[in-house]
A and B are shown apart, each in its own frame.
Chain A
Amino acid sequence: MAHAGKLMTQSYSHDADPSGMTPNPDAPRRPKPKTPPKWLDAWSDPMANVDATSELMDVADLAGDGEWRLVMCSARERKIKVWANARLVSEQGLPDAPVAMRCFYAQTNEGGKRKPNVAVAAGNCVFIFRGGGVSAYGTNSTLRPYYKFTLPSLPVEPRETEVWRRLGNDSLTIDDAFNELAEARDAGAPLTERTLEFLALGEEELNNDNNKNGLHVNARNKRLAAFVRSQTVAGPPTRPTSATALGVIKHVADDADAVSRLIFCTEDGQVHVLSADAKEVSATYQLPSAVAFVAVTTGSRAEGKHVIACACRDNRVYNIVDGAVDAALVFDLEAPACGLATVGGNVVVIPCADDVVHAYALRDHAVDGKEILAGQKLYSLYLPASVASVTTLDVNRQRRLERVAFATRDGYVRAYHGSKLVVTLKTDENDPCVGMRFGRFGREENALVAVAASGGVSVRIMPRRADLTGSNENNRDAPTDETSRLAATPLAVPKKTKLYVEQTAREREFGREMHVAFQKDLCRLRLNTARARVAAMRDGGGGGARGGG
């Protein structure tokens, strides 16, 4: 607290000193206790009602006027919204529920300052918007749809196409078609939706009633025929795929508005990299499973070497290095990843659903003189609550620093430098941040935009004096504080009443008699029990446990 120092000097000059101790002016001053500097709350809108996660948020200089705007997609409402200066300036609908959104700078031949494009992945398309800045009349304009990019469909098995063609021509019976397609499925060929539905329909009927074969087969075939008719109208079967994640590669320079390339990942495990002018796919990689999160290292290397890290649904993180999926650089996770972030060009940080964060090295590099090999696990963080969102803090100061921050469900946002806790920010306990993005906002650098679970948006600015090196000993984590608080509460020793104390006195006096009496009664009890048992055995005629019921 900045005021603490002032208070001290005030009491120092105060005449009536109640404690009776006047501080000696010549004595060395005690250093002021260091409390972590507070983050500035720039603005917050609790009623914004935005359903966005980190994948659907980004900040960009849309108008090119140096005033960075916040772009967010609200998944529930299927809208894309732009905020500038604490105001919602534009809002427009999307054709489909958005899955991911990124701002990127395509290489264009237009002169002047580059403006970013906003890419939204929804369904099997990626829609690219432009604009969103200030129009010629000085009003804020909406984002103009610029381009729609359909994800390339996957190849269809030729046998399937054949079957459907013949079905369309009526040169194949339903049963034969069914058998052929079932064969294809059992052989392990990937089939189109249409075929899967066809097979499922046919099998459902079969499984339902094995008795009434005749009648049901007819009904089933009729249903299948209707289905076929409805499908063949549309032409040959296709296998489109839907998008799952978007990423951006900045491969030449590190600046925030450097030319970058878009990556998108699909449900079938493909990763497409767009060319620099965002018009066509320049590279495609195939991964064994659908990609859930993607992150790219932002080291600026002249050769353009970067690593694309993809967290997939089979609990693995695959890495694409130098244009190929690196088979050796695969990280197995014990629990599914709930986010992905890259830090410092060499490290990938993976928060998992079991409240543990693992960090792995993506490249050979040296830290403090120690050599670290690619693929080595660097550290694990054990968080006290589950992770709601993660983001890389790309802090712009005299030097650029990169840290990782996690928002956990206990209402804290924690930033780490390596495995050291650097910053703790308290948000609402019941309303954890489900989306975070760090960057410029407005004209401020180093702002953290957070979307809470309730839909509220807040922007906080990191204080200049925030210590990001983790050397401040006062930076203790919340659970440690809690523990020390608990340690201060005394033990709840059960109380003894006065009656008890009196009884103990009595026992001390009459211990012997009490003991003797007790033993006598115990023996008597045992004797009576045995007698009753014998009687029961005799009378009941051997029934042991009768009457228990």
Chain B
Amino acid sequence: RDTMPEYYDSDEVEDEDRVDAEPEPESPATPLTVPKSTSAAVTAKAIARTRRNVHIHRLYVRHEHDACLALIEEVLAEFDGLCEYPIYVKALVQRRRGRIQESLQLFQAATALNPHNVQNLKQVGRSLYLLGKHKAAVEVYEEAEKMAAEARGDDGGHEDWEIYHQKGLCYARSKQFGAAAECFMRANAVSRHEATYEQLGRVYQAQENWEAAIATYLEALESSPDSPDILATLGLLYLRLGETYRAFEYLDQALSRDPGNPRVILAAGSIIQDHDDVDVALVKYRVAAAKEPNSAQLWNNVGMCFFGKNRFVAAIACLKKALYLDPFEWIISYNLGLAHLKTQQHASAFHFLSGCVKRKPDFAAAYAFLAVALAKLDDVENAKQAYARAIRLDPGDHLTRLNAAITLFNAGDFEGAKEMFEAHDQLWGALDEDGKVDAGEDVEEQRRAL
């Protein structure tokens, strides 16, 4: 449209009045000197606010936060902080950096500048949610919903799934799981997203509604079949429910997508270990150990791998490292106790096993082995008590009774031993091959002794 204005020649380009906005004059003195190309300068000044939005946005999505903030500060300094989009992005960056209170204030400033922008409200809501003020957040989201509905008008248009998703998150945090589930379902109805499915699944898990959780994740897999996170979560869920075969299927798929995920490796490795394939498990754990060397569970599992290979010193070393990383985990103490029993260090075994029962008083096997340790330490009275406790907790365990029988026998209490043995025999008869193989020799010995 325009013919070429003069300032096109390269010489004059540098001199052309830059589109810096002049600051407002403080005193009502002379009006601004008007530059020669009036309309262009005014236009330029008018868009000066939004001119750099593009660059700000690009820097932000490329995660170049420092450069982004620098540019934002420049723009804000020019305009006394009265530009909506730079403030918005600044708040987003601050939130990423963890300064949530500051980001909340900035979002509120952006809302003040432009009260009709749904995005601002949504972000205010999210900041409130992150600060833990769930009720306030829900209120803000409902307002945002209303505003979005208004903006859409009567023709429907495209609903905003994020509002429902975020509302669901707030409800979930404040433990209103029913409302949360509803919100997530609505969000999914608008537009399916992995994140929503994951949250919905988590809600169901919190409600211990395992079927619904599994169904949710399976549905999620339909829309995003490659997501390593969903595959991993599904695998772990199956594992928790005891369906190891299916769990392993999913965990394997997750690993093929994302071979370095320590959580998944741990889960897959534990399944492999259960099937006695210790070396394969060890190889898998190597990767996890490199990625996350300070995981107590990992070292526990590694220790048990060595245990399975009868390398008890190495096992103890790993287990002690695990214990150092997480002293309150009863499984590690239990394993350490077992390992020490195997190396005939009964005093240490006692120490660890008693620690274990302190933390988990209802685990029968711990008492049983505690009793064994005590028996080896010649403390028959306490051993008997420990056995009694173990039997009370788990009356179906034949091994405990066998050990009890042996101990009583060694202590000279033949009557008690005989009782125990008979009880053991009954249970023994009801067993199938596996158990018999384990305790085969001892049974023979006992039978002979009696």
Chain A residues within CB distance 8 Å of chain B? 53, 55, 75, 92-97, 99, 123-124, 145, 148-150, 185-186, 188, 192-194, 196-197, 200-201, 204, 222-223, 225-227, 229-230, 233-235, 238-245, 267, 288-290, 292, 313-316, 327, 330-332, 334, 336-338, 353, 377, 379-382, 386, 388, 409, 419, 434, 479-480, 482-483, 486-496, 501, 504, 507-508, 511-512, 514-516, 518
B218-261 CB mask vs A (1 if < 8 Å, else 0) is 00000111111000000000000000000000000000011110
Query: Least Cβ distance of B82 to chain A in Å?
Result: 5
Known interface pairs A94-B13, A223-B24, A267-B53; A336-B60 also in contact (CB < 8 Å): yes
Top 5 closest A-B pairs, CB basis?
A: A338-B61, A93-B13, A483-B259, A332-B191, A486-B290
CA distance A379 to B226 in the complex (A): 7
Query: Least Cβ distance of A269 to chain B in Å?
Result: 12
Whether B62 and A338, one on each chain, are in contact in the complex, defined by CB atoms closer than 8 angstroms, is yes
Q: For residue A507, which residue of chain B has the nearest CB?
A: B345
Identify which of A331, A332, A379 contacts B162 (C-beta below 8 A): A332
Known interface pairs A240-B47, A507-B345; A512-B31 also in contact (CB < 8 Å): no
CA distance A313 to B53 in the complex (A): 10
Known interface pairs A186-B115, A230-B31, A336-B61; A487-B260 also in contact (CB < 8 Å): no
B306-329, CB < 8 A from A: 306, 313-314, 316-318, 320-321
Known interface pairs A486-B287, A493-B318, A508-B345; A480-B257 also in contact (CB < 8 Å): no
B349-388 CB mask vs A (1 if < 8 Å, else 0) is 0110000000000000000000000001111000000000
A-B pair number, CB within 8 angstroms: 222
What class of interface size applies to chain B in its complex with A?
Answer: 35 or more
Whether A93 and B38, one on each chain, are in contact in the complex, defined by CB atoms closer than 8 angstroms, is no
CA distance A227 to B27 in the complex (A): 10
B105 at the interface (CB under 8 A from A): no
Known interface pairs A200-B113, A233-B32; A482-B260 also in contact (CB < 8 Å): yes
B46 at the interface (CB under 8 A from A): yes
Stretch binding the partner chain, chosen from B278-286, B404-412, B421-429: B278-286
List A contacts of B379 (CB < 8 A): 515
Identify which of A188, A419, A494 contacts B116 (C-beta below 8 A): A188
Known interface pairs A99-B54, A234-B38, A382-B258; A123-B343 also in contact (CB < 8 Å): no
CA distance A492 to B51 in the complex (A): 55
List A contacts of B7 (CB < 8 A): 95
CA distance A204 to B39 in the complex (A): 28
Q: For residue B305, which residue of chain A has the nearest CB?
A: A491
Chain B residues within CB distance 8 Å of chain A? 1-2, 4-5, 7-8, 10, 13-14, 16, 19, 24-28, 31-32, 34, 38-39, 42-44, 46-47, 49-55, 57-58, 60-63, 80, 82, 113, 115-116, 119, 151, 157-158, 161-162, 190-191, 193-195, 223-228, 257-260, 282-287, 289-291, 293, 302, 306, 313-314, 316-318, 320-321, 343-348, 350-351, 376-379
Whether A238 and B46, one on each chain, are in contact in the complex, defined by CB atoms closer than 8 angstroms, is yes
Identify which of A233, A337, A388, A480 contacts B31 (C-beta below 8 A): A233
CA distance A45 to B190 in the complex (A): 49
List A contacts of B1 (CB < 8 A): 148-150
What are 8 residue pairs bridging A and B, where the CB atoms are less than 8 Å apart in the complex?
Answer: A204-B80, A223-B24, A226-B27, A380-B194, A479-B259, A486-B290, A491-B302, A512-B377
CA distance A491 to B317 in the complex (A): 12
List A contacts of B32 (CB < 8 A): 230, 233
Whether A75 and B38, one on each chain, are in contact in the complex, defined by CB atoms closer than 8 angstroms, is no
Query: Least Cβ distance of A547 to chain B in Å?
Result: 28
List B contacts of A192 (CB < 8 A): 46
CA distance A518 to B346 in the complex (A): 13
Whether B286 and A490, one on each chain, are in contact in the complex, defined by CB atoms closer than 8 angstroms, is yes
Q: For residue B260, which residue of chain A has the nearest CB?
A: A483
CA distance A293 to B41 in the complex (A): 28
Q: A95-B13, A338-B62, A434-B62 are in contact. List 9 more A-B contacts (CB 8 A).
A: A93-B10, A193-B49, A223-B28, A225-B28, A331-B191, A487-B287, A489-B286, A491-B302, A508-B343
